[in-house]
């Protein structure tokens, strides 16, 4: 199950709880609107009402549609289970460090920086050195929201908090925690991927 599908299930779960409650106290009063109206009474059952020639609604077919109800306790239980699934399926990176294999959530990595024949994985705490080229690491991380901003730096787009244009045509990025990196002109086109929507910034990051 993908993260998007899990989020959809969460939305559906909330709607199952909220929507029936919103309609549970609906009145059975006449309506001046023509057409068919579906309403729910206090017993949680739905009826159809059809408009008559004079424009008022009367009870028509009494076929019932049971409204699914989920109480608050069950809703919270479902949402907690979905949160566990999200955490369990969050993408992680495995790498050798100090004679063992470590697993690190990709969301915790703010940036990856080249250091000779190694790359430094940089979470908010201590960095980890991995024997791999930055080009290879950049390709592996690209599908997970990482972009290259410098010949020696790749950043996690979700960690970027601020973009500052520089007089040189370059940009300075500030990440969570205050770390800053310069985006060279060679890679500044990648900044378009930092946001899904740009408002009033058509001339930025081109």
Q: Does residue 128 sit in the same domain as residue 145?
A: yes
Spatial distance between the Cα atoms of 31 and 17, rounded to a whole number of angstroms: 27
- Residue 130, domain extent: 92-194
Q: Does residue 152 sit in the same domain as residue 59?
A: no
Domain end position, chosen among 64, 89, 114: 89
Q: Does residue 71 sit in the same domain as residue 7?
A: yes
Q: Does residue 83 sit in the same domain as residue 96?
A: no
How far apart, in Å, are the Cα atoms of 89 and each of 1, 53, 83, 84?
8, 58, 10, 9
Per-residue pLDDT of the chain (206 residues; tens, 9 = 90+): 555 565 666 666 565 555 444 444 444 444 444 444 444 444 444 444 444 445 544 454 444 444 455 577 777 777 777 666 555 566 888 888 778 898 889 999 999 999 999 999 998 888 999 999 999 999 999 999 999 999 999 999 999 999 999 999 999 999 998 999 999 999 999 998 888 777 776 656 55
Give the chain's domain count.
Answer: 2
Residue 68 domain-assigned? yes
pLDDT at residue number 142: 93
Count Cα neighbours of 140 within 13 Å in the Cβ-side half-sphere: 13
Spatial distance between the Cα atoms of 154 and 109, rounded to a whole number of angstroms: 10
pTM for this one? 0.56
């Amino acid at each position: 199950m993908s993260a998007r599908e899990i989020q959809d299930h969460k939305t559906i779960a909330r709607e199952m709880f909220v929507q029936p409650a919103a309609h549970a106290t609906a009145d059975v009063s006449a309506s001046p609107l023509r057409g068919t109206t579906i309403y729910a009474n206090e017993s949680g059952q739905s009826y159809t009402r059809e408009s008559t020639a004079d424009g008022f609604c009367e009870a028509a077919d009494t076929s019932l549609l049971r409204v699914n109800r989920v109480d608050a306790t069950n809703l919270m239980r479902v949402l907690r289970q979905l949160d566990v699934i999200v955490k369990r399926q969050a993408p992680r990176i495995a790498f050798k460090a100090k004679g063992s294999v470590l697993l690190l959530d990709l969301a915790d990595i703010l940036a990856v920086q080249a250091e000779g024949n190694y790359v430094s994985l940089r979470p908010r705490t201590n960095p980890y050195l991995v024997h791999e080229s930055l080009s290879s690491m950049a390709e592996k991380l690209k599908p997970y929201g990482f972009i290259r901003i410098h010949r020696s730096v790749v950043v996690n787009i979700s960690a970027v908090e601020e973009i500052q244009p520089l007089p040189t045509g370059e940009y300075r990025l500030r990440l969570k925690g205050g770390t800053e990196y310069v985006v060279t002109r060679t890679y500044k086109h990648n900044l378009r991927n930092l946001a899904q929507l740009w408002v009033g910034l058509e001339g930025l990051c081109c």
